Structure 1
Amino acid sequence: MTRLRCLSTAAAAATLFLLSGCAQTVGAGAEALSPSAAPASPVLPDDDDALMLRVAYTGGFVGPDMLAGRMPETSVYADGRVIFDGPVPAIYPGPALPNVQVLTISPDALGTLLDKAVAAGVQDGADLGHPGVADAPTTEITVRTAAGEQTVGAEALNEAQADDPLLTAPQKQARKKLLAFIEELNRITTQPAGGTPQQYRPEVLAAIVRPYVEPGDGLPERPKKVGWPGPALPGESLNPTVGINCVAATGKQVDAVLAAAKEANAATPWTSGGKTYSVRLRPLLPDETGCADLKAAR
C-alpha cells in the first residue's frame, strides 16, 4: 500500500517537494525539538526501514573485532524509530549483548531533526580540519535530505581541545555546531518526552567470531563455557588478515542466541563443533541484512 506522509518545513523553496493536506501527528520526542531555520527535509519514503539519519564512530585505536561489531550511536528511520546504543553497567566482564534500545518520534519531530542536521553543517565536503589528537575515532553523521544523502566526518570531535592550534576559527565553529546538534539528538534518547525506550529486538543477530584465547585478566575463576545455539561457528571470513569471521542468526536462532546471552558475558567462551570461540554479538539494524554489512566497518 502506498502511504502519503509529510514532514514539517519552514520554507517550501528549499524543499524539492511539498505535500499538502497531511495531518500533523505529535508523538514521542516531538517536544524535544524546536523548529529549524534550515529546511531540507525530503518527503519520507514508503519504506519504513529507510535510514534518514545516523551518528556513528569510525576508526580509532580499537581491535578489528570491535571495529566490525561496533554499533552506530544513533540511527533514525523513516517511520520515526530512533535506535540507539543505551547505557551499559561499568563491570568486567561486560554483558554479552549490547544494550540497544528503540523509541519512536512523530513525523513532525523527524522533519525538524533532519532540518537541524543540515543547519548544523552535515554536508558533503564540509571542512572540519585535522586536530592534533592521535588514535581518536571520527564522528560520522549522515542525513537524508531533499538534495540526497549528505555525510560529514569530524576527527576527534569529542577529544580535540577547544583551542587546538591546528584548527582554524571556521573549523572550530563548524565542529561546535556539530557537537551542539549531537547533544540535542542525545536528549531525545536520554530525556524522552513521550514514553520509555524499549529493548530493540533484531530480526538478524550477527556474531563476530575469533578463536578463543585465555584473557589473562587475573580473575580467580575461568568463565564457564556455553554451547553456541546459532549457526555453526566460525562462519564466513570478515578479515582473513586478523582471523575474524561472522555468522548471522535469523528466525528461531535469534531467540536461542538471545536466551543464551543472558547466561553469558563478553568474556564467555562459546563452543561449536568441538572448538571454542570468542563471540562479539552485534544486533543488525533495519537497514542491514547480514555479515556483508559488517565487512565495510572502518
Structure 2
Amino acid sequence: MKLLRLVPAVLLAASGCAAAGSAADSAGSAASYAPGDLVVRVLTGGGFAPVSAAVTQLPEISVYGDGRVVTIGPVPGLYPGPALPNIQVRRISAADVRRLAQRGLAAGVGRGEDMGVPTNVADAPTTHITVRTASGAATTDVPAMGIDSAGDGMTADQRAARERMRQYVEDLRDLPKTLGRNSVGEAVPYEPARIAAVATPWQPSADGLPSDPPAVEWPSASALPGDPVPDRTGVNCLAVEASPVLSAANSANARTPWLSGGTRWAVEFRPLLPDESGCADLGR
C-alpha cells in the first residue's frame, strides 16, 4: 500500500510544470495526453537476430494518447512470407489509456528494480517497457522475460520484480480481458503515412527452391538503397511516402528483388508508427 500511495505523489510533484502529456494528478487518475503522445510501449529485441533486425524490429504494443493501440497481427506460416508486416490498430478510451499507464507504474516500470539475468540462458532477447510520466519516459528492461527457471541464480526479489513486469505485459497483450471486451475496438489494418525501406544487396536463392520471384521496379522517386545505418555494415534505410510503396508491395513477397538504378535490392519494410518520422527513429 505504501507503493500505491507513493507513485501518484511523485508524479504530482512534477505536474505543476508538466505539459498536457503529464501522467497523473493528485487523485492518482491520469491527466490528459496529447493525441500523438506515446504513452505505453513494449518492444523485445536483441539476442540472435539478423544484422538488420535492430532497424526493422516492430514494437509488440504501442499505446497513444488518443486511444490508438498499435500491435503486430498474426503472421502466416508461409515461405517466403508477405512483403509487408501485419500491423493492426484498435481503439480504447482516453480513460483506459491512463489506466494502462498507472498499471505499469504500479507494477514498477521506471522504479529501477534489479531484474537480474538468468544464468542458464544465453543470448536471449530483452523486453523494453516504457510508460510516459509527468517527468518523461519511465523505462524498465527485462532480459529473457518469461524464461526464468529453477537454478537460474536469481534472488526472490528479482523473481518478484520480473513477475510483475511479465504480468503487466500479459495484461497489455489481452486488453479485452484487462479492460473489458466492450472497451476495446475491433482491429483494423494500420495505414502508415510513411514507410522505411531497409535495403541490403539482393542475393538469389542458393538452391533455387522456391524459385525467385520476378524483380519489381521501385515505385518511389527516392532511389534505393538510402543512407547507411550506423554500426550496421551493409544495411541502408530510406524513408518515403507509404502509398506508392504499399501498392507495389501488396503483390510482392519477402524474397522479391526491388530494382532501383539498375541494381536489385532485398528490402524489409518497416511502416513508421505515429511517433516516428524517419529512419533515425528506428532501432532506438
Q: Secondary structure at the match of 2:236?
A: strand
Return the alpha-carbon distance in structure 2 between the equivalents of residues 282 and 256 of structure 1: 14
Aligned partners of 1:142 and 1:149 also within 8 Å? yes
Aligned to 1:35: none
Return the alpha-carbon distance in structure 2 between the equivalents of residues 159 and 245 of structure 1: 33
Amino acid at match of 2:255: A
Question: Which of residues 216, 227, 235 in structure 2 aligns to 1:236?
Answer: 227
CA RMSD of aligned residues (A): 2.4
Aligned partners of 1:15 and 1:41 also within 8 Å? no
Return the alpha-carbon distance in structure 1 between the equivalents of residues 97 and 84 of structure 2: 28
Return the alpha-carbon distance in structure 2 between the equivalents of residues 100 and 109 of structure 1: 21
Amino acid at match of 1:271: L
Aligned partners of 2:193 and 2:243 also within 8 Å? no
Amino acid at match of 2:166: L
Return the alpha-carbon distance in structure 1 between the equivalents of residues 115 and 124 of structure 2: 15
Aligned to 2:19: none
Question: Which of residues 208, 214, 221 in structure 2 aligns to 1:224?
Answer: 214
Amino acid at match of 1:201: E
Question: Which of residues 280, 284, 289 in structure 1 aligns to 2:277?
Answer: 289
Under a length normalisation based on structure 1, what TM-score does the superposition of the two structures give?
Answer: 0.81
Moved more, 211-220 or 92-101: 211-220
Question: Which of residues 238, 243, 247 in structure 1 aligns to 2:238?
Answer: 247
Return the alpha-carbon distance in structure 2 between the equivalents of residues 164 and 285 of structure 1: 40
Aligned to 2:185: 195
The CA deviation at 1:217 is 5.6
Q: 1:240 to 1:15 in 2, by over 3 A?
A: closer
Question: Which of residues 144, 148, 168 in structure 2 aligns to 1:181?
Answer: 168
In the alignment, structure 1 residue 72 sits paired with structure 2 residue 59: yes
In the alignment, structure 1 residue 159 sits paired with structure 2 residue 150: no
In the alignment, structure 1 residue 49 sits paired with structure 2 residue 36: yes
Q: Secondary structure at the match of 2:200?
A: strand
Q: 1:79 to 1:167 in 2, by over 3 A?
A: same
What is the total number of aligned residue pairs between the two structures? 263
The CA deviation at 1:166 is 1.7
The CA deviation at 1:177 is 1.1
Aligned to 2:196: 206
The CA deviation at 1:291 is 1.0
Question: Which of residues 105, 128, 138 in structure 1 aligns to 2:126?
Answer: 138
Aligned partners of 2:202 and 2:257 also within 8 Å? yes
Q: Secondary structure at the match of 2:174?
A: helix
Structure 2 stretches of 5 or more lacking a match? 17-26
The CA deviation at 1:275 is 0.3
In the alignment, structure 1 residue 263 sits paired with structure 2 residue 274: no
Amino acid at match of 1:151: T
Under a length normalisation based on structure 2, what TM-score does the superposition of the two structures give?
Answer: 0.85
Aligned partners of 2:51 and 2:232 also within 8 Å? no
Q: Secondary structure at the match of 2:52?
A: helix
Structure 1 stretches of 5 or more lacking a match? 1-8, 19-38
Amino acid at match of 2:259: T
State the Cα deviation string for residues 229-280 of structure 1 (Å, max 9, x = none): 1221011111365211111112xxx211111111111111111110000000
State the Cα deviation string for residues 95-142 of structure 1 (Å, max 9, x = none): 111111111111121111111101112114221001121111100000
Q: Secondary structure at the match of 1:239?
A: coil
Amino acid at match of 1:211: P
